[in-house]
């Protein structure tokens, strides 16, 4: 993922805000021009980029050098917050872009948090538990000075989960023995100061934004135009056929929510992971697939394994899922999946971004021109950071929330943002992504201005 994606989007958004002379209208002419230029500099520059080489004694006796990053993009709204991913493709540009998206996401959803992100360039599928433990612990040792409950609070992302967060918090506690430590990491296990529902939160939020688009929005809004016509044509179908790319933390929960949803006529016809796409035109048994993947990590990838999982499906290539003839495509694997080379083959009318940055800017422009509705990452996949925020609050209040309350608070917060963006979207010519950026950047610009930083 190139850093250009979020940077270009931010610059375009600031231009739109500049042209809207009702925004920050107290600033006049030259002063306003200068202020917007300054704001662009602030928002497109990360505050800090930290890189370390972790030296890890591997199980085979060799020492391996592993690149690790923490990028603190912006803390205008509160402490830096964002996940740590373990993936072989991690690099500086990617982590900067992901940290920038976190600043935008947290602002969009009105969280008192800034944006940060971390990454380790390693393939977690090739590591033993001991090796993963060492990497998690070394990561915290190397970045200990810049982390902390009121400074920078990491969480899980691709290739990491509650186990890694538990190990990281334990290391943090050893390094800072006299300090409060429960709020130093979120996404921990419930037995270790975690919060109920964090693991499911992102996938649930992704599915709910889609459900609100299909159902509640049309019930609540009086607007009738091409956009509502398209939404209505999908929502009224006898079978809304959906495909979900990625079957990890986010994708498997999104798939299960789609499968279990009683309010819409959804049929999950395809799911995929790093190895295969599974397809069944009559619908897949997602419950059985979730049960299988929770034991074996990956989806069943051949006839024998499908039998073992008691699932009927055709086994296809992992990329086949992207261009299938379905109504809705959930992207919940990784970035840059829809690009110039495959954008013209996309058949879905609605795409929901569970992953961060799964569509390149060229493809985003093309799909917008072809009236595909895209619920963007910063709007759809914020469930994780919102529940992480509740976990962080819980650690400060020393009080534990029950799961019903967690979901109630999550849906309330996400639906509020969704409606705010949707009202604008139905009435202007911008895409949902452009509207989400406008809402988010406006909040940040206002804050910078109130802090007296724009001259």
Residues annotated as part of the active site: 117
Binding part of the chain for ligand NAD, among 46-54, 142-150, 164-172, 331-339 by CB under 6 A, reads 331-339
Q: Count Cβ atoms below 10 Å from residue 302 Cβ, excluding itself.
A: 11
* Of 104, 313, 332, 454, the one binding ligand NAD by CB under 6 A: 332
* Of 48, 237, 274, 339, the one binding ligand NAD by CB under 6 A: 274
> Distance between CA atoms of 89 and 407, rounded to whole angstroms?
33
* Of 82, 194, 251, 300, the one binding ligand NAD by CB under 6 A: 251
Q: Pick from 249, 270, 250, 392: which is nearest to 324 by CA?
A: 270
**Strand extents, DSSP E, 223-325:** 240-245, 266-272, 276-279, 314-317
Binding residues with ligand NAD: total (CB under 6 A) = 24
* Of 248, 286, 338, 363, the one binding ligand NAD by CB under 6 A: 248
Q: How far is the CB of 56 from ligand NAD (least distance, A)?
A: 20
Task: Give the residue with the Cβ less far from ligand NAD, 273 or 434.
Answer: 273
* Of 149, 194, 246, 300, the one binding ligand NAD by CB under 6 A: 246
Q: Pick from 6, 108, 97: which is nearest to 444 by CA?
A: 108
When asked if residue 272 is in the footprint of ligand NAD (CB under 6 A), the reply is yes
DSSP state of 216: I
When asked if residue 97 is in the footprint of ligand NAD (CB under 6 A), the reply is no
Binding part of the chain for ligand NAD, among 39-47, 208-216, 270-278, 425-433 by CB under 6 A, reads 270-278
* Of 11, 318, 339, 443, the one binding ligand NAD by CB under 6 A: 318
Binding part of the chain for ligand NAD, among 141-149, 217-225, 340-348, 350-358 by CB under 6 A, reads 350-358
Backbone φ and ψ for 135, nearest 5 degrees, come out as -65, -45
C-alpha triplet 215, 220, 225: angle, nearest 5°: 85
The mark string for 129-168 relative to ligand NAD (x by CB under 6 A, - otherwise) is ---------------------------xxxx---------
Task: Give the residue with the Cβ less far from ligand NAD, 149 or 156.
Answer: 156
* Residue appearing with tokens 């939160």: 201
Binding part of the chain for ligand NAD, among 176-184, 329-337, 394-402, 447-455 by CB under 6 A, reads 329-337
48-57 vs 80-86, strand pairing mode: unpaired
> Distance between CA atoms of 102 and 273, rounded to whole angstroms?
25
Asked if 363 contacts 340 with a C-beta cutoff of 8 angstroms, the reply is yes
Q: How far is the CB of 110 from ligand NAD (least distance, A)?
A: 17
Asked if 272 contacts 321 with a C-beta cutoff of 8 angstroms, the reply is yes
* Residue appearing with tokens 């080379």: 341
Q: How far is the CB of 283 from ligand NAD (least distance, A)?
A: 20
Task: Give the residue with the Cβ less far from ligand NAD, 135 or 158.
Answer: 158
Asked if 191 contacts 162 with a C-beta cutoff of 8 angstroms, the reply is no
Does an H or E element contain 83, and which?
Answer: strand 80-86
Could you tell me where the DSSP H helices lie in 248-296?
249-260, 286-296
Q: How far is the CB of 333 from ligand NAD (least distance, A)?
A: 4
Q: What does the block give as tokens for 431? A: 């895409």
Asked if 395 contacts 195 with a C-beta cutoff of 8 angstroms, the reply is no
Closest residue to ligand NAD, judged by C-beta, is: 248
When asked if residue 202 is in the footprint of ligand NAD (CB under 6 A), the reply is yes
Q: How far is the CB of 359 from ligand NAD (least distance, A)?
A: 12
How far apart are the two ends of the chain, measured CA to CA in Å? Answer: 33
When asked if residue 94 is in the footprint of ligand NAD (CB under 6 A), the reply is no
Tell me the torsion sign for CA atoms 7, 8, 12, 13. Answer: negative
When asked if residue 82 is in the footprint of ligand NAD (CB under 6 A), the reply is no
Task: Give the residue with the Cβ less far from ligand NAD, 13 or 106.
Answer: 106
Task: Give the residue with the Cβ less far from ligand NAD, 71 or 333.
Answer: 333
> Distance between CA atoms of 170 and 141, rounded to whole angstroms?
11
* Of 273, 327, 391, 434, the one binding ligand NAD by CB under 6 A: 273
Q: Count Cβ atoms below 10 Å from residue 170 Cβ, excluding itself.
A: 17
User: Facing residues of 330 across strands?
Assistant: 244, 352
When asked if residue 361 is in the footprint of ligand NAD (CB under 6 A), the reply is no
* Of 148, 154, 376, 384, the one binding ligand NAD by CB under 6 A: 384
DSSP state of 298: S
Q: How far is the CB of 407 from ligand NAD (least distance, A)?
A: 15
User: Facing residues of 68 across strands?
Assistant: 52, 120
Q: How far is the CB of 254 from ligand NAD (least distance, A)?
A: 9
Instruction: Give residues in contact with ligand NAD (CB under 6 A).
Output: 156-159, 202, 245-251, 272-274, 318, 332-334, 354-356, 381, 384
């Amino acid at each position: 993922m190139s850093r250009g994606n979020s940077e270009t989007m931010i610059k375009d958004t600031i231009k739109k805000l500049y042209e809207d002379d009702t925004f920050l209208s107290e600033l006049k002419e030259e002063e306003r021009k200068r202020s917007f230029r300054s704001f662009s500099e602030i928002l497109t520059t990360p505050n800090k980029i930290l890189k370390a080489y972790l030296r890890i004694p591997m199980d085979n006796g060799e020492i391996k050098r592993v690149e690790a990053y923490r990028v603190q993009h912006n803390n205008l709204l509160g402490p830096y917050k964002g996940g740590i991913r373990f993936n072989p493709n991690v690099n500086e540009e990617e982590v900067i872009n992901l940290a920038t998206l976190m600043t935008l996401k947290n602002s969009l959803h009105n969280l008192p948090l800034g944006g940060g992100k971390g990454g380790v360039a390693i393939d977690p599928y090739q590591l033993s538990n001991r090796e993963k433990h060492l990497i998690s612990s070394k990561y915290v040792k190397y970045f200990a000075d810049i982390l902390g409950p009121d400074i920078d609070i990491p969480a899980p992302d691709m290739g990491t989960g509650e186990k890694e967060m538990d190990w990281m918090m334990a290391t943090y506690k050893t390094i800072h023995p006299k300090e409060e430590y429960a709020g130093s990491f979120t996404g921990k296990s419930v037995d270790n100061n975690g919060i109920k529902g964090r693991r499911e939160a992102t996938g649930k939020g992704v599915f709910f934004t889609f459900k609100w688009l299909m159902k509640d929005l049309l019930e609540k809004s009086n607007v009738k135009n091409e956009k509502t016509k398209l939404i209505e044509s999908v929502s009224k179908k006898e079978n809304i056929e959906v495909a979900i790319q990625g079957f990890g933390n986010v994708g498997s929960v999104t798939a299960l929510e789609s499968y279990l949803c009683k309010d819409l006529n959804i049929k999950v016809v395809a799911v995929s992971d790093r190895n295969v796409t599974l397809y069944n035109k009559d619908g897949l048994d997602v419950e059985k697939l979730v049960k299988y993947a929770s034991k074996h990590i990956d989806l069943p990838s051949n006839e024998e394994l499908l039998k073992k999982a008691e699932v009927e499906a055709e086994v296809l290539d992992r990329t086949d899922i992207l261009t299938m003839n379905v109504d809705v495509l959930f992207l919940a694997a990784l970035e840059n999946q829809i690009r110039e080379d495959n954008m013209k083959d996309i058949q879905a009318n609605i795409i929901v971004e569970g992953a961060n940055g799964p569509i390149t800017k060229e493809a985003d422009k093309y799909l917008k021109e072809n009236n595909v509705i895209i619920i963007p990452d910063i709007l759809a996949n914020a469930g994780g950071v919102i529940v992480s925020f509740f976990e962080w609050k819980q650690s400060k209040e020393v009080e534990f929330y029950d799961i019903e309350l967690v979901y109630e608070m999550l849906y309330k917060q996400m639906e509020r943002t969704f409606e705010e963006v949707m009202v604008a979207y139905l009435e202007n010519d911008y895409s949902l992504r452009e509207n989400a950026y406008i809402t988010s950047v406006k909040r940040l610009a206002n804050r910078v201005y109130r802090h007296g930083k724009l001259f």
